[in-house]
């Protein structure tokens, strides 16, 4: 059996034995996990010792009976693992447990020379992405029962979830933009030359360490909704203090947006069930 398949099966058995409920979606939170966990009712943690995976499970939404989600904190921090897929293992485990979508939150920078550059302080919805990280969690994976050898990325970024997120943001007066996201390796902001290159390649914003979970989602059959908090406009020297202030201001808005998306996540899960569970 493929090492990924074997690890996912073991991790899923351990999480279920530890009381983890079946999720409708996975929240991959590189930023903003603490605030959201405080807003959710009774989140409980479950672990897979073998996989080194910890998830928090809770109902997502503003009303009782919201869809169950798994939340992964500090997403991407396990990149030191030897096999590339281990850093994004939660995507496959959540999909195997029943999740149909992955909601990803991260921070990034706008590209000032792009068409219609989004302003710093806004949220950015990815309608597509460029993988310029130089890596993929699918490298060396080979045949797997969990997904195709060459997954289809043309339908990865879910338009319905994106419309729901945009509508919820506008209803709350949160600046929102949409476009192509350049996924870089990091951990450094793009140089001026790199920013110009990325803009000419068609991107409006850039982010670090997001290509791997997006490609894992495509392989696992998870619809993706990627929301990036833009903390820098890329127009001049980086202002760390300003970035920190913007992050603090955007965090509660992003938390509120996740709660607003409860019905959309529930509807997506119900639609999948009506289709017979075929991904």
Q: Strand 44-48 to strand 53-59: parallel, antiparallel, or no bridges (unpaired)?
A: antiparallel
Topology (CATH) of 3-274: Rossmann fold (3.40.50)
CB atoms under 10 Å from CB of 276, counted, come to 6
Q: Which residues pair with 57 in a beta bridge?
A: 44, 70
Is residue 58 within 8 A of residue 51, CB to CB? The reply is no
Indicate the pTM of the whole model: 0.92
Residue 4's pLDDT is 95
Output DSSP code: residue 185: -
pLDDT value of residue 74 = 60
Residue 125 to residue 181: CA distance in whole angstroms: 8
Backbone angles phi, psi at 209, to 5 degrees: 55, 35
β-strands 101-110, 223-232: how paired? parallel
The single residue listed with the structure tokens 């993988």 is 131
> Could you read off the pLDDT of 86-114 as tens digits, one per residue?
999 999 999 999 999 999 999 999 998 88
Q: Which residues contact 74 (CB under 8 A, 6 or more apart)?
A: 30, 33
Instruction: Chunk the chain into consecutive blocks of 10 residues (it has 279) and report each block's average pLDDT, rounded to whole numbers.
Output: 93 97 94 79 91 94 89 62 86 97 94 84 96 91 91 95 96 94 86 91 93 96 96 83 88 92 93 59
Compute the chain's Rg from CA coordinates. 18
Cα(129)–Cα(206) distance, rounded to whole angstroms?
9
CB 11 within 8 A of CB 151: no
The CA-CA-CA angle for residues 234, 177, 197, to 5°, reads: 40
Instruction: Give yes or no for a contact between 213 and 28, defined as CB atoms under 8 angstroms apart.
Output: yes
- CA torsion sign for 127, 151, 75, 66 is positive
DSSP 85: G
- What pLDDT is recorded for position 79? 46
């Amino acid at each position: 059996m493929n090492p990924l398949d074997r690890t996912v099966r073991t991790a899923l058995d351990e999480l279920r034995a530890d009381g983890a409920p079946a999720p409708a979606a996975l929240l991959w939170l590189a930023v903003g996990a603490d605030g959201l966990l405080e807003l959710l009712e009774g989140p409980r943690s479950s672990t897979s010792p073998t996989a080194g995976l910890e998830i928090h499970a809770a109902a997502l939404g503003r009303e009782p009976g919201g869809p169950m989600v798994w939340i992964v904190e500090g997403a991407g921090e396990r990149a030191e693992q030897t096999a590339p897929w281990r850093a994004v293992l939660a995507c496959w485990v959540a999909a195997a447990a029943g999740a149909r979508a992955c909601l990803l939150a991260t921070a990034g920078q706008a590209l000032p020379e792009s068409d219609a550059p989004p302003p710093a302080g806004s949220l950015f919805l990815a309608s597509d992405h460029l993988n310029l990280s130089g890596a993929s969690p699918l490298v060396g994976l080979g045949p797997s029962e969990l997904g195709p050898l060459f997954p289809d990325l043309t339908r990865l970024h879910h338009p319905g979830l994106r419309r729901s997120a945009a509508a919820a943001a506008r209803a709350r007066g949160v600046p929102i933009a949409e476009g192509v996201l350049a996924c870089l390796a990091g951990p450094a902001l793009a140089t001026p030359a790199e920013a110009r290159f990325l803009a000419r390649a068609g991107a409006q914003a850039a982010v670090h360490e997001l290509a791997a979970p997006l490609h894992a989602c495509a392989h696992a059959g998870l619809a993706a909704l990627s929301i990036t908090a833009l903390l820098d406009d890329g127009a001049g020297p980086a202002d760390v203090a300003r970035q920190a202030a913007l992050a603090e201001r955007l965090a509660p808005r992003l938390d509120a947006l996740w709660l607003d998306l409860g019905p959309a996540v529930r509807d997506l899960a119900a639609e999948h069930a009506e289709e017979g569970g075929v991904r």
